[in-house]
Amino acid sequence: MKLHTALTIAGTDPSGGAGIMADLKSFQSRNVYGMAVVTSVVAQNTTGVHHVEHLSLESIEKQLHDVYSDIMPQAVKTGMIALPEMMDLIYPYVSKPIPYVMDPVMIATSGDRLVSDEAVHFLKSKLIPIATVITPNRNEAEVLADMSITCESDITTAANRILQDLGPQVVIIKGGHIGENATDYAFTKDGNVRTWTSPKYDTVHTHGTGCTFSAVITAELAKGRDVMDAIGIAKDYIALAIKYNPALGNGCGPVNHMAYGLLSNGPETMDELLKNDERR
């Protein structure tokens, strides 16, 4: 049975809620073979970030080489890339002709900063221009567009600035931190705009929502799905994952990666997968 393949390049979360751990859970839930290159080892849990150790450039390079020289991913995402030197190293790998989803991770849900100012500058000048999709939350969009976002028209202005000045194909401004509902806005380079709305669940358990959302998009792009369809699936997935969160930990807990598969009639039952396989 053939599986689609996706790679995440990001930091870790030993408590399993965010970073690489959330990405691999998302890939697996969407029936995609997940691979992971670790950039930084982060001691964190639902209460916050407590220690960060960056891996050496040599280690990151060797991990990237071992993946790309053996199992070529069909889509790649980046999460926490804390230092500009790491971005330099990663750049040639994410510029390969496969979809590249960039989650411009800057600050954890707990409020802890995860990347340096210099890295943000590099993110803007180097990685975002080659991204297929970028998925900033409100704060990240404010930094990228260099303006504050307080209403819907600010979202449009910020997205247009990001598209024009930084040049990704699609920018999704996530509404987890804006408005009464959870509305996400996607703007494409060729002028399309789409929104997806779910109820905003009144919960503190949103640790790893951004990682999960962008990882599901990556998994769907690895299958060759259209970007807008991929975003729609990611939106349904994250809404159910938050709604049915397992309420773990003493702080902002993780989401439920089992919810979407169990509760939605997703297109990919095992039967359908096997049928697809026979057709190949």
Ligand X SMILES: Cc1ncc(COP(=O)(O)O)c(N)n1
Ligand Y SMILES: Nc1ncnc2c1ncn2[C@@H]1O[C@H](COP(=O)(O)OP(=O)(O)O)[C@@H](O)[C@H]1O
Binding residues for ligand X, rule: CB under 6 A, are 10-13, 18-19, 42, 44, 79-80, 105, 108-109, 207-211
Single out the segment in contact with ligand Y by CB under 6 A; choices: 29-37, 119-127, 144-152, 169-177.
Answer: 169-177
**DSSP state, 123?**
I
Q: Is 198 in the site for ligand Y (CB under 6 A)?
A: yes
Contact 210, 174 (CB under 8 A): yes
In this structure, the strands spanning 100-102 and 4-10 are: unpaired
- Output the smallest distance, CB 273 to ligand Y, in A: 26
Q: Is 194 in the site for ligand Y (CB under 6 A)?
A: no
Q: Is 249 a catalytic residue?
A: no
Instruction: Give the burial string for 102-129 (b: 16+ CB within 10 Å, else e).
Output: bbbbbebbbeeebbeeebbebbbebbbe
Which residue out of 17, 208, 232, 253 is catalytically annotated?
208
From ligand Y, ligand X, none, which one binds at residue 176 (CB under 5 to 8 Å depending on kind)?
Answer: ligand Y
Provide the 10 A C-beta neighbour count for residue 93.
Answer: 21
Single out the segment in contact with ligand Y by CB under 6 A; choices: 69-77, 79-87, 111-119, 170-178.
Answer: 170-178
Q: How far apart are CA 87 and CA 126, in angstroms?
A: 8
Q: Is 209 a catalytic residue?
A: yes
- Output the smallest distance, CB 265 to ligand X, in A: 27
Among 23, 235, 236, 253, binds ligand Y (CB under 6 A): 235
Residue listed under structure tokens 């990682």:
211
Among 84, 175, 232, 253, binds ligand Y (CB under 6 A): 175
Q: Is 225 in the site for ligand Y (CB under 6 A)?
A: no
Contact 230, 221 (CB under 8 A): yes
Nearer to ligand Y, 176 or 253 (CB): 176
Q: How far apart are CA 270 and CA 3, in angstroms?
A: 12
Going from the C-alpha of 271 to that of each of 28, 34, 194, 263, the distances in angstroms are: 17, 21, 32, 17
Rg (CA), the chain: 17
Q: Is 206 a catalytic residue?
A: yes
Q: Is 210 a catalytic residue?
A: yes
Q: Is 211 a catalytic residue?
A: yes
Q: Is 79 a catalytic residue?
A: no
Residue listed under structure tokens 């705009």:
193
Q: What are phi and psi of 62, to 5 degrees?
A: -65, -35
**List of residues contacting ligand Y (CB under 6 A):** 109, 137, 174-177, 182, 184, 198, 200-201, 203, 206, 209-210, 213, 235, 238-239, 242
Active site residues: 174, 206, 208-211
